[in-house]
Amino acid sequence: MAVVAVPFFPSTILKLAPKLSSFIFDIHVSPAFSSFSLAFSATNCNNFTNRFTFRLTNPRKLRRNPRPPSAAMIFPQNPKLNRKLVHISIGLVFMLCWPLFSSGYRGAILAAITPGVNIIRMLLIGSGIWKDEATVKSMSRYGDYRELLKGPLYYATTITLACAVYWRTSPIAIAAICNLCAGDGLADVVGRRFGRQKLPYNRNKSIAGSVAMATAGFLTSVGYMYYFSYFGYIQESWEIVLGFLVVSLASALVESLPISTELDDNLTVTLTSILVGTLVF
């Protein structure tokens, strides 16, 4: 049997036809029309039989299956890092958009609608009413949809309250979101990478992670203070900078305690930032 892998053109058949005395055709079309093949047996005058196969492939149909969910991630080999990047970026990027909203309480409520919708979304997915595997994988630690009723729900609630209650004229809103997103997010990333030396009162936390949290939360808060002062929402001052330092240190201390592991650091960091911020601002 001879197999000929050539483009399927009618002229090829016409050149072979005069030399063939009989044909037996076998046409095959693969699933999803990714290839087309034509096989036939030919017997010449000496009763010698050859089998020829012509195959035509459509390159546009070779990859019909969509990419797996991991291919859409920034680091598909490290889902934990992807989850933390989501944790860090969502709140900070959303806060960059606050100057786009109108001034006054109406703008605050309008801005709070976006994270407020996510509260409902977390409740529906976390209770099992709404199935969304992509969201569960990107926001949960162990792939359990019920985890969305804890950390992700607290996260969305923090940003919603920061908009609706404090808004862009309050340092408390800046401190709460920056310590939750940048501080708590980088604490886990740095702690996993460089956290060999553990805290004496909590072996699940590291010195490097706590230092990274306090530093990231503080520097990000100061950066957003200058950002909002450019639009005239906040008057920059050393008193506010000192207040940000106190809030970041307190948040990092509470996050390092065992109670944060038992409850949820998204909850404890937020409550600490708001309570201490109320005292210092």
Asked if the model's pLDDT at residue 261 lies above 80, the reply is no
Asked if the model's pLDDT at residue 273 lies above 90, the reply is yes
Average pLDDT over residues 55-78: 46
Question: Quick check: pTM over 0.85?
Answer: no
Please name which of 276, 233, 225, 231 lies closest in space to residue 255, comparing C-alpha atoms: 276
Asked if the model's pLDDT at residue 160 lies above 70, the reply is yes
| CA distance linking residue 194 with residue 204, whole number of Å | 13
Q: What is the largest CA-CA distance in the chain?
A: 104
- Looking only at the bridges linking them, the beta strands covering 49-57 and 22-29 are unpaired
Q: For residues 254 and 272, is the Cβ–Cβ distance under 8 A?
A: yes
Counting residues of the chain whose pLDDT is more than 90, the rounded percentage is 53
| pLDDT of the residue at 17 | 45
Q: For residues 52 and 27, is the Cβ–Cβ distance under 8 A?
A: no
Q: What is the pLDDT of residues 204-234, one digit of tens each?
A: 899 999 999 999 999 999 999 999 999 999 9
* Domain ranges, ordered by start, for the chain: 77-280
For residue 150, give the amino acid letter.
Answer: K
Asked if the model's pLDDT at residue 33 lies above 50, the reply is no
| pLDDT of the residue at 104 | 84
DSSP character string of 102-141? PSHHHHHHHHHHHHHHHHHHHHHHHTTSS--HHHHHHH-S
Asked if the model's pLDDT at residue 271 lies above 60, the reply is yes
| pLDDT of the residue at 36 | 45
Asked if the model's pLDDT at residue 171 lies above 80, the reply is yes
9 by DSSP, 3-state: which? coil
Q: Residue 176 class from Cβ within 10 Å (0-12 exposed, 13-18 middle, 19+ buried)?
A: buried
Asked if the model's pLDDT at residue 72 lies above 70, the reply is no
Question: In the chain, which residue ranges form alpha helices assigned H by DSSP?
Answer: 10-16, 79-96, 104-126, 133-139, 151-161, 171-178, 184-194, 207-230, 238-256, 258-262, 265-280
Confidence of residue 78 (pLDDT cuts 50, 70, 90): low
| CA distance linking residue 45 with residue 40, whole number of Å | 17
Asked if the model's pLDDT at residue 105 lies above 50, the reply is yes
Q: What is the pLDDT of residues 16-28, one digit of tens each?
A: 444 444 444 444 4
Token pair belonging to 102: 């109108």
Confidence of residue 62 (pLDDT cuts 50, 70, 90): very low
Please name which of 260, 191, 264, 250 lies closest in space to residue 218, comparing C-alpha atoms: 250
Task: Look up residue 2 and give its DSSP letter.
Answer: -
Confidence of residue 85 (pLDDT cuts 50, 70, 90): confident
| CA distance linking residue 33 with residue 39, whole number of Å | 17
DSSP character string of 203-232? EEEEHHHHHHHHHHHHHHHHHHHHHHHHTT
Confidence of residue 103 (pLDDT cuts 50, 70, 90): confident
